[in-house]
Structure 1
Amino acid sequence: MIIDCTINKWKFSERKQALLHIDKCDSITGEKPRIVIFDRGYPSGEFFINLMEHNESFLIRIGATVFKKEQLTMTTDDEYVNIMFDKSRLSPHKGTSTADKLAKTGSIPLRFVRFELDNGNREYLATNLPIEEFNTSEIVYLYRLRWEIETAYNVLKNKFFIENFTGTSLIMIEQDIYATVYLCNVMHDILLDAKLEFNIKNHQKYKYKMEINKNIAIGIMKEELIRFILEKDKGRKKEMFDKIIVEISSNILPVRNGRHYKHTKGQLSGTYSNVNKRSF
């Protein structure tokens, strides 16, 4: 479920934007406890400090060259390290507020977790979650929950074509993006109902864990959603909704763990033509 959406220029600070999203979450989810999970593009000394100042519980993947000194000092797969903000880490930010913040803080203790992927590569996670409450395997499990974010981006870009705009004016781009996010959330709600319907009817029926086929679900929504929205009769509307749920819940496939999407580096311009807009 997408609970907040902002539109920015192509080049912007994802870390600053993340903090804005976190602030917005307080007004949306209230005081419910949460753990924020980030991929490897986010870790930095200042970002860690900012999250701590927000009293956030966080879990962040660390790239192979980020905080390498701390990675090399690890003698176990799960331990606390002390990140020192020495001259080598202050000099790239000389004369900025970032340098002042790092110098004032001096150092921060963080928990580093190391684990091995199926291909044999090692990954590192940084977190402030206490080891007394979350063991190593639970930390790795929590990070892998982030896979749903990758699949959500995949749906937005390749199923709902969020980058295929109706026009080039600001209002039209905003309209397309917000409408697509809304439709994605509608689909998410319907999928949850369909998943519940499937689980009730097929409890322990399958050898492997099954999930709703999102490609089929989106196709069904394309066919039925507009008619459902335009229908005025409440009774008929409920019948249509129940039919959609049953049809979606009958299209399933086994869960395949360990998948990943290939990351394409560089600016991708002109993916879609401005004179051609897909219907959905």
Structure 2
Amino acid sequence: MREVIFSGDLAQRFKMEEQNFTRNRKQPFSATLLFMINLLRTSLAIEIDGFVRYLNERFTSQNTPSFTSSAFVQNRKKIKPTVFKHLSSVIIENYYTADNESLILSNGFRILAVDGSRITLPMTLELKACYGVTKNQSEVEIVQARSSVLYDVLNGVTLDAVLENLSIGERELALRHATQWKKNDLIIYDRGYPSYDFVNEHIKQHIDCLIRVKVSYSLVVATFVRGGKKSIITEIYPKEKQSFEGKDYNKNTGLKVRLLRIELPSGEIEVLMTTLMDSKKYPSKMFKELYFLRWGVETFYDELKNKLKIEWFTGYSQLSIQQDFFCAIFISNLQSVIVNDIKGELHEQNKDRKYNYKVNTNLSYGFLKNRIMELLYLKAPLDNIFRELKNLFLKNTVPVRNNRVRHVGKYRGRIRPKVTKNQRDAI
């Protein structure tokens, strides 16, 4: 990652214009990136002062020059937001390798989940035109964008993310993640996603999926629920009234799927649809726990909004919004691979404890502030800073709370969740 950030190739690929970053300025391309990655959540003037002071105190031989907020704003306009997607791809490429002992799979699958969410943006004419306008619970007009992520729920890594206009539906955004699909992926979706087209795209690309469907989804599903069976293999068909122009199927083209009946403790019946047909290899009893893993992508959005504070944007243009969004995804991925690397030591710590403990995600981002520059700074002693971070992460853990109840609509009435006494801002 260090080599990538400080390579001339990165600047060449992701600068806006050929003439950008050609002169020897106070803030070259790599320094601008490091500053943007440093979890900017306060006033730019304060962030710049802290950035320069920290580097000069830690690396006395470097004499990092100061710069103004205006100079940074002008510099960021020269950088494509996709640079942060590229940096995330470097993490992903190096993490998903056969010799990575910390990589977690289930039944040989990467267990992925897709979910969308609305991200509240600053109210500007440019952002209104780019992303769309809606109203909150108080009927106040606000600007929001629709995000979608493809998330590895077992390893905490975001494989792909998009931020688009509200008018674009979640299914369409979910299919954009297909560029990151790999053999032996199992992708989990909630009940907002199922459709014939959607399942067909997965089957065509030989990608397995698990989707929650409403009982009212189709007559086939309703009949299955009334029948009382735990699992059946059946076929679904496209809606007869839709247009088949340009499609590679017609109203008589069936798709073979498996339906599963999940009974909740409350007595409610949930129905899951999957492409995993082998009932011996994939027995019905495994799917309740498997689908519950999708909760990981929900907690990721909580992390993104309430711990990484993605909605505290550092600018008001579409460019800065995209930069901040993809930068936060990159930081999240970097934090995840560090945490995954110390899971063995955390497991040893838990042997003598009554409960299992995990790294405190909120505090971990606070510890990354400033230190993330040393992790990525080419001349910094990597072993020292990694050891320092590892010790801080292992020292600050929280108990794992299983079987927690989800309160639907808990935050619907206010813009941001109330920060409780046991969770203060870390950045």
TM-score band by shorter chain is 0.7 to 0.9
After superposition, the Cα gap between the structure-2 partners of 1:161 and 1:225, relative to the gap in structure 1 and judged at 3 Å, is same
Partner residue in 2 for 1:8: 164
For the residues of structure 2 that align with 1:161 and 1:117, how far apart are their CA atoms?
A: 34
After superposition, the Cα gap between the structure-2 partners of 1:220 and 1:140, relative to the gap in structure 1 and judged at 3 Å, is same
Partner residue in 2 for 1:206: 353
Range with bigger deviation, 174-183 or 160-169: 160-169
Contact kept? 1:45, 1:102, Cα under 8 Å: no
Unaligned runs of 5+ in 1: 27-31, 272-277
Partner residue in 2 for 1:163: 311
Output aligned runs, 1:5-84, within 5 Å. 5-26=161-182, 32-67=183-218, 69-73=220-224, 74-84=227-237
Letter in 1 for 2:317: S
- Which of 227, 240, 264 does residue 90 from structure 1 map onto? 240
TM-score (normalizing by structure 2): 0.54
Letter in 1 for 2:327: A
Contact kept? 1:62, 1:124, Cα under 8 Å: yes
For the residues of structure 2 that align with 1:144 and 1:171, how far apart are their CA atoms?
A: 36
- 1:185 and 2:333 equivalent? yes
For the residues of structure 2 that align with 1:139 and 1:80, how far apart are their CA atoms?
A: 15
After superposition, the Cα gap between the structure-2 partners of 1:270 and 1:150, relative to the gap in structure 1 and judged at 3 Å, is closer
Contact kept? 2:184, 2:207, Cα under 8 Å: no
Instruction: Give 1:264 shift.
Output: 4.6
Contact kept? 1:79, 1:111, Cα under 8 Å: yes
After superposition, the Cα gap between the structure-2 partners of 1:59 and 1:76, relative to the gap in structure 1 and judged at 3 Å, is same
Partner residue in 1 for 2:269: 122
Letter in 2 for 1:17: L
Contact kept? 2:159, 2:180, Cα under 8 Å: no
Q: How many residues align?
A: 261
- Which of 404, 412, 425 does residue 259 from structure 1 map onto? 404
- 1:110 and 2:242 equivalent? no
Contact kept? 1:63, 1:124, Cα under 8 Å: yes
For the residues of structure 2 that align with 1:4 and 1:144, how far apart are their CA atoms?
A: 21
Partner residue in 2 for 1:29: none
Write the deviation string for residues 87-117 of structure 1: whole angstroms up to 9, x where unpaired. xx322x3x46498845151x32321111122
For the residues of structure 2 that align with 1:244 and 1:83, how far apart are their CA atoms?
A: 51
TM-score (normalizing by structure 1): 0.80
Partner residue in 1 for 2:11: none
- 1:242 and 2:242 equivalent? no
Instruction: Give 1:194 shift.
Output: 3.1
Identity %: 27
Partner residue in 2 for 1:145: 293
Greater fraction of residues in helix: 1
Contact kept? 2:261, 2:271, Cα under 8 Å: yes
Instruction: Give 1:142 shift.
Output: 1.9
Contact kept? 1:116, 1:122, Cα under 8 Å: yes
For the residues of structure 2 that align with 1:204 and 1:128, how far apart are their CA atoms?
A: 38
DSSP 3-state at the match of 1:3: strand
After superposition, the Cα gap between the structure-2 partners of 1:263 and 1:101, relative to the gap in structure 1 and judged at 3 Å, is farther
Aligned-pair Cα RMSD in Å: 3.2
Bigger RCO (CA 8 Å, 6+ sep) = 2
